[in-house]
Amino acid sequence: MRRLILLALAALPAFASAITSAAISGLDTAVVTGTATVFYTDPSGDPFISASANAIGLTLGPVRDGFIAITAQGGANSGGASHGTVGSYTFGCTDFGCSPANDFNGTKTWLPFTLGVPFQISVSAGASSIGWGSGDILFSFSVAESVTPIPGYGAYPGEAVTIYDPPAVPEPPTTLLCAGGLALLAARRRIREGRNP
């Protein structure tokens, strides 16, 4: 039986010429994670492989200043690449290492971020079969309220904020809305009956 399992594992690359996966998780919590991975197990398959995932994030409340902290790691080889985007911040990794954009520096640094508006979250990776290409990235981020305890001094990150998937934003229960409507109708009826003795 053990030999059969080893033979099955040895034959696995013949059935799968590439591994591709991408996901965004953690919505409806205070920390969201994005991950994408592609690599060849056998370069005789598709000449180019890719994986990507996209989501929209939203924080409750009015439009206001806040902060975001992003951490990321990843890499690539033989022409592979990987990218992540959170709002206006974009970052990526290639054969030559990770290169930030829009002031993202690859470490946990609090950066300006607008709360109360929807924002794009995306992650992707791609690779060419030439040289058994690969690409991977893993990032996570959190957002926080902006706090200015002393007027005239700079703001700093305060309490962490939950990042929602817009359809999952809490709404008033339907039963509560129906009960309110029935109460208004009953009050209107009582007023009419009081006018017509």
Choose the weakest-confidence range: 34-38, 72-76, 161-165, 169-173: 169-173
- The string of pLDDT tens digits covering residues 30-78 is 999 999 999 988 877 788 999 999 999 999 999 999 999 988 888 888 8
Residue 108: CB atoms within 10 Å: 12
Name the amino acid, one letter, at 80: G
Confidence tier at 79 by pLDDT (50, 70, 90): confident
pTM above 0.85, yes or no: no
Count of helices and strands (H, E) across the chain: 2, 11
Q: What pLDDT, on the 0 to 100 scale, is given for residue 105? A: 52
Domain map (residue ranges) of the chain:
2-166
Choose the weakest-confidence range: 79-93, 112-126, 178-192: 178-192
Residue 152: CB atoms within 10 Å: 5
| Continuous segment of H or E residues that includes residue 193 | helix 174-195
Q: Tell me: pLDDT of 181 over 70.
A: no
Q: What pLDDT, on the 0 to 100 scale, is given for residue 104? A: 53
Confidence tier at 184 by pLDDT (50, 70, 90): low
pLDDT higher at 183 or 61: 61
Cβ neighbors of 130 (< 8 A, separation 6 or more) are 43, 47, 78, 79
**Which residue do the tokens 């690859």 mark?**
106
For residue 108, give the nearest of 159, 157, 54 by alpha carbon.
Answer: 157
User: DSSP class of residue 58?
Assistant: B
Supply angle C-alpha 41, 44, 8, rounded to 5: 45
Range ranked top by mean pLDDT from 15-24, 111-120, 131-140, 166-175: 111-120
User: DSSP class of residue 180?
Assistant: H
Choose the weakest-confidence range: 32-36, 94-98, 151-155, 165-169: 165-169
Percent of the chain at pLDDT > 90 equals 46
| Continuous segment of H or E residues that includes residue 52 | strand 48-57
Supply angle C-alpha 154, 155, 158, rounded to 5: 150
